Amino acid sequence: MKRRTNMRMTLFTAFLFLSGLMLAPGSSVEASGSRIILNRGTFEEATEEWDVMLDRLETAIGNGRGENVNFSAGNHFTVPEDILKKLAGKNATLALHTTNGVTFSISGRDVRKTDEPVQIDVSYEPMVSEEALGQISSYPVVKHFSMEKKTYPCVVNVHMALGEENFGNLAVLYSYDESGECLRLEESFRITKDGHAIFGLKRGDVYVVMMVRGYRVAAGDTLSHIAVKHGLSLEALKAANPQIHNTDLIQVGQMVNIPNR
């Protein structure tokens, strides 16, 4: 049984790193039709007043500069059809702030269908079985969230504040297949300098976000030096970085994935 478990973990780790979801250095994720990173900071400008939000949204749409309109929505909210019709095709974003450092957003460029509302009921309680979490037990889980409604008329982006100390680490999103007691790899995102990650959700589900450490190459570094510095074999470091095609050529500032020992 132990041998079978070790083999499953080996295969799962290989799938994770060879799936092509690991980002090449300097690249970015298109989390939606247009990549939307929300305003930095603590969102003091967010309003809880629906009428104020509507006025700000009208102004942002009129300006056409891709502005974010921040609304303190709570964990249970509905964006009605008339708001989606205002947004549809426009260069503006509605940012819906919940709790737990998580914000959902809808970009006007992603809105094509306006005949049904976007209804979000989100919970941050862990809902994934211990057996399924065992698939990623070597890596820290940084966020659990689940969405009650399963279908949406447009892509809904989810933004997570994971801390500036995690800059350069890789946030990896999984959905939970309850019937199969397993996790499905969805996508990954290199955490920004201000500690944010973003994923584009096409459906509601039970989700888990885990983190892979990242290391920024310094002057004089080689992969061998980096492996020794982190207590790894060179082979393990290479396996975790399939995006590095020539292991003799790494550049200062390049991000390298660091697997757990």
| Residuewise pLDDT in 10s, the chain (261 residues) | 444 434 344 434 444 443 433 333 333 333 333 345 564 444 557 899 999 999 999 999 999 999 999 999 999 999 999 999 999 999 999 999 999 989 999 999 999 999 999 999 999 999 999 999 998 887 899 999 999 999 999 999 999 999 999 999 999 999 999 888 899 999 999 999 989 999 999 999 999 999 999 899 999 999 999 999 999 999 989 988 888 888 888 999 898 989 877
The two structure tokens encoding residue 84:
């989606």
The two structure tokens encoding residue 229:
């510095």
Helices (H), ranges, the chain: 2-18, 50-63, 81-87, 130-133, 223-229, 234-239
First to last CA, the chain: 22
Give 30-48 pLDDT, tens digit per residue: 333 334 556 444 455 789 9
| pLDDT at residue 41, as a whole number | 43
| pLDDT at residue 243, as a whole number | 83
User: Burial of 5 by CB count in 10 Å (0-12 exposed, 13-18 middle, 19+ buried)?
Assistant: exposed
Give 85-122 pLDDT, tens digit per residue: 999 999 999 999 999 989 999 999 999 999 999 999 99
* Helix %, strand %, coil % of the chain (to 5): 25, 35, 40
| pLDDT at residue 55, as a whole number | 95
Place of tokens 């890789």: 170
| pLDDT at residue 241, as a whole number | 87
The two structure tokens encoding residue 187:
């996508």
Dihedral sign computed on CA atoms, order 37, 39, 44, 50? negative
Q: How far does Cα 173 stand from its chain's mean position? A: 6
The answer to whether 227 and 233 are in contact (CB under 8 A) is yes
The model's pTM: 0.80
| pLDDT at residue 31, as a whole number | 35
| pLDDT at residue 221, as a whole number | 93
Quote the Cα angle for 184-189-195, to 5°.
Answer: 125
For 5, 45, 156, the CA distances from 203, given in Å and listed in that order, are: 31, 29, 8
